[in-house]
Amino acid sequence: MRTFKMMLIASATTLVAFQAVQAADAIDQIPEAPAATESYSAPAGSWSGAYIGGAATYDFGKFTGSNDGRDAKGLGGSVYGGYNMQNGQIVYGAEADLGYSGEDGSAGTAANGAALTGTQGVNGSLRGRVGYDMNPFLLYGTAGLAVANHEMEDGASNDERIAAGYTVGAGVEAMVTNNITARVEYRYSDYQKRDFELSSGTVSKGFDDHSVKVGMGVKF
């Protein structure tokens, strides 16, 4: 009888141990929950709305006419503002700017041989603008009316005239934040010839201008 009891106790102990091992294996086989992952996509920006900004400019060009001058250049600045509308990735609107280039250089010679110096001072434009949104960059083209104040002098006298013309260009603008933008732009402007009355005689001069503008703006 004692031997029978010992066999029952040994069997029960073995069964309990076996079940414990199986339970441990089952716990080990429970798959771990996948680690939580987060994905973030930058929201697509919108170019729609009004904006203003300022730019530093480098200008170089020439006064055109007989005995053209070819070394007019200068550093200046401008302020700009406009309004954009957006349809899908197409951005379009209008922009105006007002600046000062201080661009001066040789303007050739007068009829009596006097050396002429020409200067472009205050200038501005009113333009249309069309671009393609490559969030956060905007590639755009622009064209419109340009106006500038031109001065001519021959060493003994000077005269000023307002000249109108056209301007065309292209640029790239980027959203630095939701409402701060930065841009680089190139523009070519061609101004009409005007007659300048000088002591050395009347001279007729136009002006061709190349301008590189680097600016920052605020979008509302």
Residue 187 dihedral angles phi and psi, to the nearest 5°: -140, 145
- Entry pTM: 0.77
Where residue 86 falls among pLDDT bands split at 50, 70, 90?
Answer: very high
Q: Which amino acid is at 100?
A: Y
pLDDT of res. 21: 42
Strands 49-64 and 72-87: antiparallel
**How confident is the model over 27-38, as pLDDT tens digits?**
445 455 445 444
Q: pLDDT of 56-71, one tens digit each?
A: 999 999 998 756 656 7
Task: Kindly provide the b/e burial profile for residues 176-204, where b requires at least 16 CB atoms within 10 angstroms of the residue's own CB.
Answer: eeeeebebebebbbbbebbebebebeebe
Q: Which of 147, 141, 145 shows the shortest CA–CA distance to 101?
A: 147
pLDDT for res 147? 98
Average pLDDT, the chain: 84
| Model confidence pLDDT, tens digit, residues 158-180 | 999 999 999 999 999 999 999 99
What is the reported pLDDT for 173?
Answer: 98
d(CA 179, CA 84): 13
| Consecutive H or E run containing 174 | strand 158-175
Return the domain boundaries, the chain: 53-219
Does 53-219 carry CATH code 2.40.160.20? yes
Residue with tokens 């703006």: 217
Residue 160 exposure: Cα atoms within 13 Å on the Cβ side: 7
Q: Which stretches within the chain are classed as H helix?
A: 2-29
d(CA 173, CA 138): 5
Closest CA to 214 of 25, 34, 44, 78: 78
Model pLDDT, residue 69? 59
The whole-angstrom separation of Cα 88 and Cα 133 is 8
Integer angstrom CA distances of residue 104 from 70, 116, 191: 10, 11, 15
